[in-house]
Amino acid sequence: MASQQAHINPEVLVWARQRAGLSIDDLALKMSQKIEKLQDWETGGKLPTLIQAQSLADHLHVPLAYFFLPNKPVQELPLPDFRRVGGHTVERYSTELYDLLIDVLYKQEWYRDYLINEGAEPLEFVGRFSAEGDVFKIADDMRSVLNLKSQDRSSVSDEAAYLRLLTEKAEAVGVVVLRNGIVGHNTKRPLDVNEFRGFAVVDDYAPLVFVNGKDSDSAKIFTLMHELAHIWIGQSGISNYQYSQNTFSGPMGTEALCSLIAAELLMPQNEFLELSSTYKYVDDLVTEAARSFHTSLSNVKLRRLQLKLVRGIEYSPAVHQVDVADSVKVRSTKPFVGGNFYRMLCIRNGGPLTMAVLNSAMNGDLLFRDAANLLSLKSTKTIVKFSRFAMPVEQIT
């Protein structure tokens, strides 16, 4: 019996392939198909079978139903885009970024409804300031709400520990913090740190910050504070900020403001100046400041430039690019095993959101299937195993 043909729209197939950033050669290689066959499908000369159409959909990361639309879909990023290259908005975005946004917004909307049903009150700090606000006033307010103290830095051993501490403080006041280096649980779909470093979703009940897990720990720390600043000024958006000399020169834009706030939170001016006064040699100061403030050498040098401790001509853009390149390290996308795997899921989905999903599932208020989707799990069986790891025994028996 011949396989049923799929009467797909060739225009949509071409759109899906180009959206995925693949050439015909690339797609043919991925699918183990002849290039000529794909060309026939794209021109409408021949039709794929339903099985082949489903394979196309899987490889191009689109729903199968898209191929049967009369016109190619028009997809726009669901959040404001603050990414800039040469002063212009980035026009092209990857399927990974788009699909990640859809997934994260789905999680955030569910958690928002959960909190409202639980009787939560709106968070007062969300949108407390505007994009025209004063850097120091905003930073002081954030420092107070988040309970940030100078001792926090000395209480941890390294940048990874400091990142965990800052994340805990943000979650303690009601911000959902997600960190991931892939789309959902798909290790074959890594996120590109050169495309975006993070984004913020402003909401009175469930404000959310996403940090690209492919970055170095020092960069993740800066991204976390940068995106939290977005929450305080009430502006959702996708960021790929470059904390550079341009960050504090020229007109003050949203990204520049948030980067300056992050710099002030991580390297307070008064503490930075005090530390600077104790060192005779710049190299010694930069090394110690990077260690003390748990940040990169590049950010320390730029902080010096910002605070007018060094002339702009002394700061080489070439050196800056080397520092930045060294700070961006590709992280492994392989899932952890055992208990570490579940801890990683909490990091990827945010601790409070994860516990809310588990509680709802174990209480019968949420289908295991939906809980698995919310936590980006392949199997519903993992929900029970996850609950035993994350919750006390008395809560799941």
Do 171 and 94 share a structural domain? yes
Q: Give the pLDDT mean for 175-183.
A: 96
Give residue 90's Cα distance to chain centre.
Answer: 17
**What residues are paired with 176 via a beta bridge?**
208
Q: Give the pLDDT mean for 86-105.
A: 80
Compute the distance between CA of residue 225 and CA of residue 221 in angstroms, rounded to an integer. Answer: 6
The model's pLDDT over 9-36, given as tens digits with 9 standing for 90+, comes to 989 999 889 888 888 998 988 898 898 9
Do 355 and 259 share a structural domain? no
Residue 239, domain member (yes or no): yes
State how many domains the chain has.
3
Residue 271: both structure tokens together: 């503490």
Compute the distance between CA of residue 310 and CA of residue 180 in angstroms, rounded to an integer. Answer: 36
What is the DSSP secondary-structure string of 311-371? -GGGS-HHHHHHHHHHH--PPP-SPP-HHHHHHHHHHHH-HHHHHHHHHHHHTTSS-HHHH
Work out the burial of residue 340: count CB atoms within 10 Å of its CB; fewer than 13 is exposed, 13-18 middle, 19 or more buried.
exposed
Indicate if the pLDDT at residue 397 is higher than 80: no
Residue 310: both structure tokens together: 């060094």
Do 201 and 61 share a structural domain? no
Work out the burial of residue 274: count CB atoms within 10 Å of its CB; fewer than 13 is exposed, 13-18 middle, 19 or more buried.
exposed
The model's pLDDT over 294-308, given as tens digits with 9 standing for 90+, comes to 998 888 888 888 888
- Where residue 25 sits, what CATH number does that domain have? 1.10.260.40
Residue 213: both structure tokens together: 């897990």
Compute the distance between CA of residue 312 and CA of residue 43 in angstroms, rounded to an integer. Answer: 56
**8 Å CB contact between 132 and 234:** no
Last residue of a domain, one of 327, 355, 371: 327
Do 98 and 32 share a structural domain? no
Do 275 and 145 share a structural domain? yes
Query: Which residue range forms the structural domain that includes residue 350?
Result: 338-396
Half-sphere exposure of 115 (CA within 13 A, CB side): 21
Residue 208, domain member (yes or no): yes
Instruction: Report the candidate in 376, 383, 378 with the shortest Cα–Cα distance to residue 110.
Output: 376
Do 217 and 151 share a structural domain? yes
pLDDT at 118: 95
Instruction: Report the candidate in 276, 288, 115 with the shortest Cα–Cα distance to residue 205.
Output: 115
pLDDT at 320: 47
Last residue of a domain, one of 303, 327, 351: 327
- pLDDT confidence of 4, banded at 50, 70, 90? confident
Do 107 and 228 share a structural domain? yes
Do 314 and 217 share a structural domain? yes
Give residue 391's Cα distance to chain centre.
Answer: 26
Residue 245, domain member (yes or no): yes
**What residues are paired with 177 via a beta bridge?**
209
Do 354 and 257 share a structural domain? no
Structural Rg of the chain based on CA atoms: 23
Residue 78, domain member (yes or no): no
Last residue of a domain, one of 327, 348, 383: 327
Residue 332, domain member (yes or no): no
Do 343 and 281 share a structural domain? no
pLDDT at 82: 85
Q: Mean pLDDT over all residues of the chain? A: 85
The model's pLDDT over 331-389, given as tens digits with 9 standing for 90+, comes to 444 433 344 777 888 899 999 999 999 999 989 999 999 999 999 988 888 887 777 76
